[in-house]
Amino acid sequence: MSAGSRHAAEDPESQLLFGQFGDELARALEDLSDDFREVLLRYHVDGASYEEIARDLEIPLGTVLSRLHRARQALRGQLTAYASARGIGRVAASAEPLAA
């Protein structure tokens, strides 16, 4: 794991989001292709850099970036309705902007 690890166990925000999504997130991850899931988990859970992932999987850096982007899009698509129904990620229309 790299020094700048983004490991979920060390990140309170990730713990909170995972706790709210739980089984839904696990199902969404299972629905990803193996290639997408591997890159996504290596980056977000293991804390590997793009370069480390490319080297370890023996794929071009651009492929890592593409797979990560497409994996995130797929998860967003699967989890948006679930989150919206629970008020997660929704910004109140009456909220006033924060002062600078």
* pTM, two decimal places: 0.65
Q: Which long-range contacts (CB under 8 A, 24 or more apart) does 19-24 make?
A: 20/83, 20/86, 20/88, 21/79, 21/82, 21/83, 24/78, 24/79, 24/82
Q: Where are the domains of the chain?
A: 8-85
pLDDT (tens digit per residue) in 47-100 = 999 999 999 999 999 999 999 999 999 998 888 877 777 777 755 444 555 554
Fold of the CATH domain 8-85: Arc Repressor Mutant, subunit A (1.10.10)
What pLDDT, in 10s, does the model give residues 27-36? 888 899 999 9
